[in-house]
Amino acid sequence: MRRLSLLSLFLALVLLAAMLVACSEEDKPTATSKPPVPEESVPDDESPSAAPVDEIVRPPSPTPEAGDPFAAIRAEMVQTGIIDWGVEDETVIAAMLAVPRHEFVPEEYQAQAYENHPLPIGFGQTISQPYIVAKMTEAIDVEPGDKVLEIGTGSGYQAAVLAEVVDHVYTVEIIGDLLEIARQSHERAGYDNITSRHADGYFGWEEEAPFDAIIVTAAPDHVPIPLVQQLKIGGRMIIPVGPVGGFQRLWLVTRVSEDEVRTNDLGGVTFVPLTRDAR
């Protein structure tokens, strides 16, 4: 009996000691314990979710602009320089939001890529002002199935905007080295629906004609007849026309029948001249 009591006392003491140890373990800060963290705080290095949250929870985005650090500034430029200036076509606005203009300017001008003005692209040429690109794209009123020709590839930016709207774009550039750079930009930005050619665009692209629409982004001093002839009946061409070194007017030329066009003056512009010497 006495033996039993001693044993019980011993067991009770062991139990008490065990309980004290358990309590103190609970209260004591340990090497792995952390203060409570708000949900949005950055996980620490030891946490299993220490890898970037984006990588774990977000599915890969199919859009080329995923993770694009310029997306916000581009959206601001589209609002203030395009929508606020009167461009209404939703598809054109979506295209302007999608195309990474910074991929189409020389590196030293990347910081200015989303300012609403033209920029030098080398060889004495310029990438057009975003507003003008949007306005010209809206003016030719294209839809997905349309076949579109651009004269004056330049940086390749206008072709990329068109490639967001229609299934396939054809573009002609007279400076071979510039065309090579534009092709690389298209590849980098993921456009595989643009076919380009090194030639004098005055003659259009006869083998691919007729076109639903033609955009001319260098200014001749008259409307080239081959371009009108390569428009479908009902097709639209937008073209700056004016004297070399002077101001031009932007014309919307609609081919209304086999031998008739209708013209609309869309205002004054300044483009580089349409030259005739292939380089």
- How far apart, in Å, do the first and last CA atoms of the chain sit? 114
Residue of 81, 100, 130, 201 interacting with ligand SAH (CB under 6 A): 201
Residue 92 interacts with ligand SAH (CB under 6 A): yes or no: no
**Torsion, CA 226, CA 158, CA 181, CA 230, rounded to 10:** -20
155 tagged catalytic: no
- The region, left, alpha or beta by phi > 0 then psi within -120 to 50, assigned to residue 166 is beta
Interaction residues for ligand SAH, span 72-91 (CB under 6 A): none
Residue of 65, 141, 200, 208 interacting with ligand SAH (CB under 6 A): 200
Residue 174 interacts with ligand SAH (CB under 6 A): yes or no: yes
Tokens of 1: 């009996």
Q: Which helix (H) or strand (E) is 8 found in, with range?
A: helix 2-27
- Exactly one of 128, 155, 185, 196 is catalytic; name it: 128
Tokens of 92: 């054109």
Residue 134 interacts with ligand SAH (CB under 6 A): yes or no: no
The CB-of-159 to ligand SAH minimum distance in angstroms stands at 7
The CB-of-212 to ligand SAH minimum distance in angstroms stands at 18
Residue 191 interacts with ligand SAH (CB under 6 A): yes or no: no
Which of 36-44, 70-78, 150-158, 228-236 is the region at the interface with ligand SAH (rule: CB under 6 A)?
150-158
Are 172 and 150 contacting, i.e. CB atoms less than 8 angstroms apart?
yes
Interaction residues for ligand SAH, span 206-245 (CB under 6 A): 217-218
Interaction residues for ligand SAH, span 101-130 (CB under 6 A): 125-128
DSSP class per residue in 207-259:
GG--EEEEEE-SB-SS--HHHHHTEEEEEEEEEEE--TTS-EEEEEEEEEETT
Place of tokens 């930005």: 189
Which of 32-40, 69-77, 149-157, 231-239 is the region at the interface with ligand SAH (rule: CB under 6 A)?
149-157
The CB-of-269 to ligand SAH minimum distance in angstroms stands at 12
The CB-of-233 to ligand SAH minimum distance in angstroms stands at 25
Separation between Cα atoms, residue 56 and residue 37, nearest integer Å: 20
How many residues contact ligand SAH, by CB under 6 A? 24
Separation between Cα atoms, residue 99 and residue 189, nearest integer Å: 8
Q: 3-class SS at 135?
A: helix
Residues that bind ligand SAH (CB under 6 A): 125-128, 151-152, 154-155, 157-158, 172-175, 178, 200-202, 217-218, 272, 274-276
The catalytic residues are 128
